[in-house]
């Protein structure tokens, strides 16, 4: 089953072609980071307009690289949510139009399900069930994952996401957007221990997080002063250590609480090298295994959407449903499509129940 995946939920236009027998055949990504940088964050209207410019040429490119034409496709997967409404509409409308023209299903994919399942694309994929630590710019969640669509929320952030804490602190330090990679780079030359930031909810006894206090703590440190390069690096180091300490402690606690032996890390913050090495050390100490997507598939991309959509379409096909809950079967009319800027992952139906 050959599936085109389209990701346009935020500031990257990601396209990919996935085949259920042959694996990932092609992928392409256009990042809008340079365009949004001047504004210190994503400008939704600019994001939508740029997706419109990029999506069709990138679709042509991945199909060409996969040696396929639109006529070879069995389905199209697009990010239905959560994300920026206008940006989501670009991917959804292109997917629905192409699917209509070809007479194939278009399936809306939950962006976080894409992230969650992306480690299954790695050379060494984890088996179900596992604990997933989902750490992106908009979400910080621990989930118990029993299968495709079988997600139970174990804990989540009560305020800012981990990526948001990186991004907001980077802004305070004048490091631009996105902040995670900039903080991580700077932290390498920072001195451990010069600044000590709080570890919010570290010992709260549950699996929830809170990161909004960190940016306040950094603001108190900075106090509007112009900082020298070493001080900035030391603060970056302190911030990274605080976030990573909490993520590692809670992820390990989730593994203990569920009695599972596998932890999967997904989402943009999962690209952080310090987080990875700390998790690897904790896993070795406690006797569980950690799985990561390859670095390029940590941040937003089309491959994870093509993959999650293909799994759902294939599962529906195996159960005798032509569309797998795809848009052709839903909505007010046969060709209607929808986007969901806000969408709870735990509310997703298991793949097997879609038929
Ligand atoms: O998953 P993602 O690409 O987009 C969302 O769905 O949010 O995650 C983006 C987030 C941003 O907050 C970015 O600062 C953070 O991931 N990020 C990192 C790193 N690379 C990206 N945070 C820490 N260290 C990194 N190396
Ligand atoms: Zn994402």
pLDDT in tens, 64-90: 999 999 999 999 999 999 999 999 999
Residue 144 and residue 93 in one domain: no
> Which atom of ligand 1 sits closest to the CA of residue 167?
14
pLDDT at 68: 98
Residue 39: inside a domain: yes
Q: How far is the CA of 210 from the centre of ligand 1 (A)?
A: 17
pLDDT at 322: 55
pLDDT mean over 50-69: 98
Residue 111 and residue 136 in one domain: no
Residue 349 confidence (pLDDT) above 80: no
Q: Which two tokens stand for residue 253?
A: 């606690």
Q: Which residue has the tokens 């802004």?
A: 171
Residue 2 confidence (pLDDT) above 50: yes
Q: How far is the CA of 285 from the centre of ligand 1 (A)?
A: 27
pLDDT mean over 131-153: 95
Q: What is the rounded CA–CA span in Å between residue 343 and residue 320? A: 27
Query: Is the C-beta atom of 119 inside 6 A of ligand 1?
Result: no
* Region of poorest pLDDT, from 7-21, 33-47, 248-262: 33-47
Residue 137 and residue 278 in one domain: yes
pLDDT at 225: 85
Residue 262 and residue 151 in one domain: yes
Nearest Cα to Cα of residue 273 among 202, 180, 179, 208: 180
Could you tell me which residue, 328 or 46, shows the higher pLDDT? 46
Residue 123: inside a domain: no
pLDDT mean over 318-337: 61
Residue 68 and residue 33 in one domain: yes
Exposed / middle / buried, residue 352 (Cβ in 10 Å: 0-12, 13-18, 19+): middle
Measured in degrees and rounded to the nearest 5, phi and psi for residue 271 equal -80, -10
Residue 152: inside a domain: yes
pLDDT mean over 328-348: 75
Residue 328 confidence (pLDDT) above 50: no
Considering Cα of 195, then 253, then 305, then 122, what sign does the dihedral take?
A: positive
Q: How far is the CA of 269 from the centre of ligand 2 (A)?
A: 10
- Strand partners for 35: none
- The range of the structural domain enclosing residue 212 comes to 128-292
The domain boundary residue, chosen from 246, 275, 292:
292
Residue 272 and residue 210 in one domain: yes
Residue 261 and residue 306 in one domain: no
The average confidence (pLDDT) of the chain is 93
Q: Are 81 and 37 in contact (CB under 8 A)?
A: no
Q: How far is the CA of 11 from the centre of ligand 2 (A)?
A: 10
> Which atom of ligand 1 sits closest to the CA of residue 112?
6
Residue 50 confidence (pLDDT) above 70: yes
Residue 354: inside a domain: no
Could you tell me which residue, 352 or 303, shows the higher pLDDT? 303
Residue 53: inside a domain: yes
Residue 352: inside a domain: no
pLDDT at 334: 64
> Which atom of ligand 1 sits closest to the CA of residue 164?
12
Exposed / middle / buried, residue 48 (Cβ in 10 Å: 0-12, 13-18, 19+): middle
Query: Is the C-beta atom of 179 inside 6 A of ligand 1?
Result: yes
Residue 273 and residue 311 in one domain: no
pLDDT at 354: 52
Residue 301 confidence (pLDDT) above 70: yes
pLDDT at 323: 53
Q: How far is the CA of 270 from the centre of ligand 1 (A)?
A: 8
Exposed / middle / buried, residue 79 (Cβ in 10 Å: 0-12, 13-18, 19+): buried
Query: Is the C-beta atom of 167 inside 6 A of ligand 1?
Result: yes
Residue 326 confidence (pLDDT) above 80: no
pLDDT at 177: 86
Residue 78: inside a domain: yes
pLDDT at 224: 81
Residue 331 confidence (pLDDT) above 70: no
Q: Count how many domains the chain has.
A: 2
The domain boundary residue, chosen from 252, 270, 292:
292
pLDDT at 329: 43
Residue 91 and residue 62 in one domain: yes
Please report, for the domain that includes residue 332, its CATH number. 3.30.420.40
Query: Is the C-beta atom of 266 inside 6 A of ligand 1?
Result: no
3-state secondary structure (DSSP) of residue 232:
helix
Confidence of residue 327 (pLDDT cuts 50, 70, 90): very low
Residue 330 confidence (pLDDT) above 60: no
Residue 103 and residue 155 in one domain: no
pTM of the model: 0.93
Which residues are within 8 A (CB) of 93 and not within 5 positions of it... i.e. 6 or more apart? 337
pLDDT at 64: 98
**Helical axes 162-172 vs 179-187, angle rounded to 10°:** 70
- In the chain, the percentage of residues whose pLDDT exceeds 90 is 86
Residue 220 and residue 91 in one domain: no
The domain boundary residue, chosen from 245, 263, 292:
292
Confidence of residue 320 (pLDDT cuts 50, 70, 90): confident
Residue 355 confidence (pLDDT) above 50: no
> Which atom of ligand 1 sits closest to the CA of residue 298?
1
Q: How far is the CA of 31 from the centre of ligand 2 (A)?
A: 13
The 10s digit of each residue's pLDDT in 186-202 is: 999 999 999 999 999 99
Is the bond preceding residue 294 a cis peptide, omega within 30 degrees? no
Residue 175: inside a domain: yes
State which of 110, 114, 136 you would mutate to test the pocket of ligand 1, scoring each by most atoms of that ligand within 8 A of its C-beta. 136
Residue 77 and residue 148 in one domain: no
pLDDT mean over 107-129: 96
> Which atom of ligand 1 sits closest to the CA of residue 163?
12
């Amino acid at each position: 089953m050959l599936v085109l995946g389209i990701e346009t939920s935020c500031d990257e236009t990601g396209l990919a072609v996935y085949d259920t027998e042959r694996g990932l055949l092609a992928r392409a990504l256009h990042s809008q980071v340079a365009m949004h940088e001047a504004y210190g964050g994503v400008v939704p209207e600019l994001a939508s307009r740029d997706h419109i410019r990029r999506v069709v040429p990138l679709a042509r490119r991945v199909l060409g690289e996969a040696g396929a034409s639109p006529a070879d496709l069995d389905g199209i997967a697009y990010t239905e949510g959560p994300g920026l409404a206008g940006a989501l509409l670009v991917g959804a409308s292109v997917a629905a139009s192409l699917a209509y023209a070809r007479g194939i299903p278009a399936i809306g994919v939950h962006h976080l399900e894409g992230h969650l399942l992306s480690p299954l694309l790695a050379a060494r994929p984890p088996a179900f069930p596992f604990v997933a630590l989902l750490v992106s710019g908009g979400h910080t969640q621990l989930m118990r994952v029993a299968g495709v669509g079988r997600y139970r929320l174990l804990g989540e952030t009560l305020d800012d996401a981990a990526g948001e804490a990186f991004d907001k602190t980077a802004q305070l330090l004048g490091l631009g957007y996105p902040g995670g990679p900039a903080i991580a780079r700077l932290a390498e030359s920072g001195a451990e221990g010069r600044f000590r930031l709080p570890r919010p909810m570290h010992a709260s006894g549950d699996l929830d997080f809170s990161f909004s206090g960190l940016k306040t703590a950094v603001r108190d440190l900075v106090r509007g002063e112009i900082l020298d390069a070493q001080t900035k690096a030391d603060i970056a180091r302190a911030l990274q250590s605080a976030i990573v300490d909490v993520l590692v402690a809670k992820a390990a606690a989730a593994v203990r609480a569920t009695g599972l032996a596998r932890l999967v890390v997904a989402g943009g913050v999962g690209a952080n090298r310090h987080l990875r090495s700390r998790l690897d050390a904790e896993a070795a100490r406690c006797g569980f295994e950690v799985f990561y997507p390859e670095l390029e598939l940590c941040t937003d991309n089309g491959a994870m959407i093509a993959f999650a959509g293909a799994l759902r379409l294939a599962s529906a096909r195996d159960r005798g449903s032509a569309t797998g809950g795809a848009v052709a079967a839903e909505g007010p009319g046969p060709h209607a499509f929808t986007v969901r800027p806000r969408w709870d992952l735990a509310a997703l139906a298991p793949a097997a129940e879609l038929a």
